Amino acid sequence: MPEPTVVSANVSSVKVDGEVIPGLQSIEWKIIRNRQNVYNIGGDERIGVDYGPLYVHGVIRVRSTYPKFDNILLSPLPEVKSFQLVIELKMRGTTVKTISFDDCYLEDKTFTLDANGVGISLYTFTATRVREQ
């Protein structure tokens, strides 16, 4: 069995259309596949499953704000464009995996500021697909 790969956040990078996100604090995402149970008429046990669309939903946390995302969120509807998000996971400075999110769109932004810290922006995004290399 191969040894697990432990990547480091402080040397990994997250890029939007090739530009590193300054002040990135964290990124998280989940892959969601709609699923329905299939039952026989008159029975209560599942006999199968039926899968529907797959989509990606994620959150990016940035210290203070990320002007590129703010511009996208506040642009007029005809000017809204998708972007590509690429994560390079690294171990000891060497890239061990690249994760690409295609056709991303921003859904919303939440900004928090507490008395003991700095401002944090949370940007929610969706993606059409995820590719891992």
CB under 8 Å to 35, separation ≥6 — which residues?
49, 50, 51, 52
What tokens appear for 125 in the block?
Answer: 């995004």
Q: What is the pLDDT of residues 76-126, one digit of tens each?
A: 999 999 999 999 999 988 899 999 999 999 999 999 998 988 999 999 999
Both tokens of 24, joined, read 């990135």
Among residues of the chain, what percentage have pLDDT more than 70? 100
Residue 133 has pLDDT above 80, yes or no: yes
Confidence of residue 49 (pLDDT cuts 50, 70, 90): very high
pLDDT number for residue 8: 87
Is 127 within 8 Å of 99 (Cβ atoms)? no
The length of the chain in residues reads 133
Residue found under tokens 């769109």: 105
What's the mean pLDDT when you consider all of the chain?
A: 93
The third-level CATH classification (topology) of the domain covering 13-132 is Pnp Oxidase; Chain A (2.30.110)
Q: Residues 75, 82: contact at Cβ < 8 Å?
A: no
Closest residue by Cα to residue 63 from 94, 103, 31, 24: 24
pLDDT of residue 4: 79
For the chain, domain boundaries: 13-132
Q: How confident is the model at residue 17 (pLDDT cuts 50, 70, 90)?
A: very high
